[in-house]
């Protein structure tokens, strides 16, 4: 039987970059866990509902930020740390500007794979 990682189309690259999740009028700070060409895993202080479309701003190492819209494809609503204060969330990218896509893809293409 295939496990989850074998179903992924793209290799994940572990990185820890600051993110800001826009959820309506609210903003939630977090950080990336890993990224790929088509999605991202993040940690943040609030769980997000499955299938919700959210906007995230990712601060890249070169101080540039990219804004990406993504659909929540998994969410750990019970928290992943001992105090249940950090939540893991997986996003599938649904919208990104051509300029941000170019910056993002150039950067992650140069990163070492897991």
Is there a domain that residue 76 lies in? yes
List the Cα angle 32/28/10 in 5-degree steps.
25
Q: Domain of 39: which CATH number?
A: 2.40.10.220
Domain encompassing residue 60: 4-109
Q: Which two tokens stand for residue 86?
A: 């950090």
Is there a domain that residue 114 lies in? no
| Overall number of domains in the chain | 1
Is there a domain that residue 15 lies in? yes
* DSSP string across 13-34: EE---EEEEEETTEEEEEEEEE
Is there a domain that residue 80 lies in? yes
Is there a domain that residue 81 lies in? yes
pTM of this prediction?
0.78
- In which element (H, E) is residue 4 found? helix 4-7
* Residues 6+ positions from 57 with CB-CB distance below 8 Å: 19, 20, 22, 65, 66, 67
Kindly indicate the confidence band of residue 6, based on its pLDDT and cuts at 50, 70 and 90.
Answer: very low
Is there a domain that residue 105 lies in? yes
pLDDT digits (tens, 9 = 90+) for 50-98: 999 999 999 988 778 899 999 999 988 665 556 555 788 999 999 999 8
Is there a domain that residue 45 lies in? yes
Task: Name the average pLDDT for the chain.
Answer: 82
Is there a domain that residue 65 lies in? yes
Q: What is the structure's pLDDT at 1?
A: 38
């Amino acid at each position: 039987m295939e496990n989850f990682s074998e179903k992924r189309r793209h290799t994940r690259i572990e990185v820890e970059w600051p993110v800001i999740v826009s959820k309506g009028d609210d903003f939630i700070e977090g950080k990336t866990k890993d990224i790929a060409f088509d999605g991202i895993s993040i940690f943040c202080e609030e769980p997000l509902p499955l299938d919700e479309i959210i906007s995230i701003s990712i601060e890249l190492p070169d101080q540039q930020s990219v804004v990406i819209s993504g659909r929540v494809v998994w969410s750990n609503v019970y928290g992943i740390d001992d105090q249940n204060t950090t939540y893991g969330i997986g996003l599938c990218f649904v919208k990104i500007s051509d300029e941000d896509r170019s910056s993002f893809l150039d950067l992650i293409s140069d990163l070492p794979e897991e």
